[in-house]
């Protein structure tokens, strides 16, 4: 049956359609499907501009039908101060994988921020110590808020240290998240001692120079390195990756643009010796944490597969609920 047209979905539309439980499920299922070889191939492209960059990511799912998604996000980290715009914004185009019809065109902010938080939570579910109660969040913007909310879904976190290069941002974060989550969130200016007391550490910044040092991470910790998704970004000491158990979302992407990229450049890691991809752990093909004292680093670069899975879920939910506006690109 021919579609009515291309469904246009705003950020508010997407936010109304999917919640944390949806994202946790679709992210885990997408990683598992990739490990089983039942997804479409992935694509990644970066385009640099004088003041920022564009990420173009593609991927596709095959269940319950074939969908292909293409996301283009612009990362311009002075946007809020200069223009009052989001620092990261963009769109996802979702197409029918059987005939190529453009089914939907939607905001990417909601899907990107939630699938990223859900990815960390799914990784923590399999790789962190289940009794983890103390976390440090590095980077107190919107993604830092989402990261903590999703971690709370899978771990008994009750104490949080918030660190940011801008002290006032960390202070506002601590006040807001303490009130919203009903837990103890404290802003800190010195990262090292806070990480030393933590079971989990999440880095979600646009940093170009690493700030999480090897000697700051205690035994048994789980580190989710989320911010490095282009070759110029780096948050984690390469020596930490080399001396820890390193897991990845997608090995080729991490070797090209993630924290692993920097460790390879320094000759510290051969990417052939990296621990398995998260999907392999999820389907039981590989072992996750093997020792309570093991330090585990999860290098997450973000994939077009999770974007496509999120877009497909939003599209199907929108059709069910009658949300969105149709536009016919082929009218003449």
CB of 184 closer than 8 Å to CB of 178: yes
Catalytic residues, by residue number, are 71
Query: Which of 139, 87, 82 lies closest to 109 in space, CA to CA?
Result: 87
* Residue 95, both tokens: 């197409």
Asked if 141 and 169 touch (Cβ cutoff 8 Å), the reply is yes
**Token reading at 243:** 């001396």
Query: CA 209 to CA 260: how far, in whole Å?
Result: 14
Give CA–CA dist 213/221, Å, rounded. 13
Q: Are 218 and 195 in contact (CB under 8 A)?
A: yes
Query: Left if phi > 0, otherwise alpha if psi is -120 to 50, otherwise beta: which for 272?
Result: alpha
Phi, psi of 116 (to 5 degrees): -70, -45
Q: How many CB atoms are located within 10 Å of the residue 162 CB?
A: 28
């Amino acid at each position: 049956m021919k579609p009515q047209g291309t469904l246009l979905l705003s950020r508010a539309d997407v936010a109304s359609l999917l919640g944390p439980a949806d994202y946790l499920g679709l992210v885990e299922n997408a990683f598992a499907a990739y490990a089983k070889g039942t997804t479409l191939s992935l694509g990644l492209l970066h385009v640099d501009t004088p003041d920022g960059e564009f990420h173009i990511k593609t991927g596709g799912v095959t269940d319950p039908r074939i969908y292909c998604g293409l996301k283009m996000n612009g990362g311009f980290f002075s946007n809020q101060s200069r223009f009052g715009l989001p620092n990261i914004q963009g769109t996802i185009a979702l197409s029918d994988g059987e005939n190529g019809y453009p089914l939907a065109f939607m905001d990417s902010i909601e899907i990107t921020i939630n699938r990223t938080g859900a990815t960390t939570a799914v990784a923590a579910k399999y790789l962190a110590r289940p009794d983890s109660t103390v976390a440090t969040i590095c980077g107190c913007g919107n993604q830092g808020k989402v990261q903590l909310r999703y971690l709370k879904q899978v771990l008994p976190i009750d104490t949080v240290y918030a660190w940011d290069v801008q002290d006032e941002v960390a202070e506002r974060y601590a006040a807001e998240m303490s009130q919203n989550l009903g837990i103890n969130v404290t802003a800190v200016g010195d990262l090292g001692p806070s990480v030393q007391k933590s079971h989990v550490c999440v880095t979600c910044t646009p940093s170009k120079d690493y700030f999480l040092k090897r000697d700051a991470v205690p035994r048994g910790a789980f580190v989710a390195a989320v911010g490095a998704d282009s070759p110029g970004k780096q948050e984690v000491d390469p020596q930490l990756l080399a001396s820890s158990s390193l897991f990845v979302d997608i090995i080729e992407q991490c070797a090209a643009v993630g924290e692993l990229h920097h460790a390879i450049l320094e000759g510290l890691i051969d990417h052939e010796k990296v621990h398995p991809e998260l999907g392999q752990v999820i389907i039981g093909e590989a072992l996750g944490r093997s020792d309570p004292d093991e330090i585990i680093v999860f290098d997450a670069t973000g994939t077009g597969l999770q974007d496509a899975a999120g877009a497909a879920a939003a599209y199907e939910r929108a059709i069910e609920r009658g949300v969105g506006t149709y536009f016919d690109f082929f009218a003449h």
